Amino acid sequence: MSIEDSIRVTERTMREMHLLPFQLAVKHANPWSFMTGYHRTNGVHGSEDPWLMEKILRGDWGWGGLVMSDWFGTYSTAEAINAGLDLEMPGPSRWRAKLLHWAVMCRKVKERTIDDRVRNLLNLVNKVRPALAHVPDGQEGDTPEKRQICRRVASESIVLLKNTKSILPLDPSARRTYGLIGPGMSLPAVSGRGSADLVPHYVSTPLDAITEVVGEESVRSAIGSHNHLFTPLLSKNISVPGTEQPGYLLGWFNENPEVISHQEAIHTTTTTQAQMYFADSLPANVPGCYWLRFGLCVLGKGKLHIDDDMVVDLFSSQPPKTLQTPMFNQASMEVTAEVNVELGKQYQLGVLLRNDSVVAGVGALSAGGLRVECCEKLDAATALAGAVDLAKQVDVPIIVAGLNSDYESEAIDRKSLSLPPAIDELILKVAQANPNTVVITQSGCPITMPWVDQVPTLLHAWFGGQETGHGIADVLFGKVNPSGRLSITFPRRLEDTPTFLTFGKGQRDIMYGEGVFIGYRYYEKLLRRPLFYFGYGLSYTTFTYSNLQVPDSFRLKNDKDSLDVSVEVKEDLRTHERTLGGLRPNHSATHMLKHLATAIFS
């Protein structure tokens, strides 16, 4: 949401639904800090709202940490400080410093209020300093222990949605052939975009991970279709000019290096990142207006050369915006060029960037940016036909496809719940070609599945981080018993969602007209079955639960009261032993019990 947006919502809805997760975090984890949002709630910006910060957070919940603003999410001096905002982010301050001096001088802000804000800041500093001092040497980067944690998180979060023919788990020792299909096989979705976009140490792909399990002789692959909005970043098979070091060479210049070719760069560095968003971290000696050359969608003006040929010109002119673009919608529309390349040949890429026409607003933290992108050109019909043919020739086709960070990003609303049309067609055609098809979808939010009745085996893998591939392979081949449960409801269609009649219908006022009836509450109230309920998830084992014991009547007087609920859960150990060997037998039973408790209290 932007700074102009205002949410209209009742206090009951706020306390019962939207504030409750934060209240639980305060109760069970006592976080050191909170951050306010950009938008207004009932007409008041979060960074200026004493009801949120003082009445609810510090008063009702008894919390005593630091409250900071989102980046450039402070809009006043006296109002924000008096409302409870301790820290304006990022620095250097725009609304405090000299402005705060005058606010104190005219007594719009009292000195004891300043003392409170400074005390909260110093308390946080005193908590963070010893914690950082005790980080063991070598534990701040990539370690085997951290890889195992990432792999476990990736595998245990995967949700088994359908397994009607008991195709899963697959037997890695069986003499089978596998057709690995879909864009997610080689380019899995590992995170969202915006502040969710982190650069992993590596990415385990499903193609590589499955090949590790069954061997290259059992695996064939076909992409079937692209599913990106923006051409994938060129982050592999690149090297700094004149070296074997992976990455790009960057140099900042005062003047256009195409005109003054022998000038010294103000600053140089290397990077392996193919998207470079120069927000608030430029080298100290780089001026506000600069030229960049190393060696495309751009934030500023730019052009791309391959060897000596200019193939993309976003310097002379840029196409009008018709879609959301990267870098918080500040970048230009993507312009692509088709280039014939030869296998094994090296090419020199060069981008000239000038940070002109940078947008103000939240983009005030921008000093230019660019994306270097590349992928194989596909003929859609030929790629689809190749995937279908492959599915007919193998024992088990496995599709990995869905959404990615192009679709799910900070500062962007999706326009529908649909997958790209080509992906829906790919899944349907492959499933029709081979009844043993296994479909693995990736998204961070609900998607519609018009092909769901045609697919016997379905997993949802979310955005799995750097161990996405191994996590998927561990579940497919029974190393991990799927124990994930849906954290959100998947509706059958957009029109079935509780916000359909209100969200996006106003200009700046966003009415939370659904009240407390969000998610599964809405579907249960209307007796309307969604595609998959909140909390849904299957297992490779079978369970029965019986003898549910719940008090006939109870009333919790405060958040420290409790009540006893019991249920008997029995697992079919024969099924467990047949499919998974020595895995923890109660692992999925525990998750089932948690799901049952959720159902009781909803």
Is the separation of the CB atoms in 231 and 334 below 8 Å? yes
Is the separation of the CB atoms in 400 and 440 below 8 Å? yes
Spell out the residues 6+ positions from residue 378 whose beta carbon is closer than 8 angstroms to its own. Answer: 223, 225, 226
Choosing from 70, 86, 406, 474, the catalytic residue is 70
Spell out the residues 6+ positions from residue 552 whose beta carbon is closer than 8 angstroms to its own. Answer: none
In terms of Cβ atoms closer than 10 Å to its own Cβ (0-12, 13-18, 19+), residue 379 is: exposed
70 noted as active-site residue:
yes
Q: Give CA–CA dist 432/225, Å, rounded.
A: 17
Query: Residue 33: what are its φ and ψ, rounded to 5°?
Result: -150, 160
Q: Which residues of 208-242 are buried (b: 16+ CB within 10 A; e: fewer)?
A: ebbbebbeeebbebbbbbbbbbbbbbbbeebebee
Angle at 333 between CA 329 and CA 337, to 5 degrees: 145
Q: How many residues does the chain have?
A: 602
How does DSSP assign 135-154, residue by residue? PPTT-SS--HHHHHHHHHHH
Is the separation of the CB atoms in 332 and 415 below 8 Å? no
Minimal CA–CA distance to 444: which of 473, 487, 480, 493?
A: 487
What does R_g of the chain's alpha carbons equal in angstroms?
Answer: 27
Structure tokens at 11: 């206090």
Q: Which residue has the tokens 């079935």?
A: 496
Name the β-bridge partners of 370: 276, 298
Q: Give CA–CA dist 200/468, Å, rounded.
A: 11
For residue 344, CA distances in Å to 87, 216, 244, 347, 378 come to 53, 22, 15, 10, 20
Q: Which residues of 246-269 are buried (b: 16+ CB within 10 A; e: fewer)?
A: ebbbbbbbeeebeeeeeeebeeee
Q: Would you give the distance in Å from CA 72 to the centre of its chain?
A: 22
List, by residue number, the catalytic residues. 70
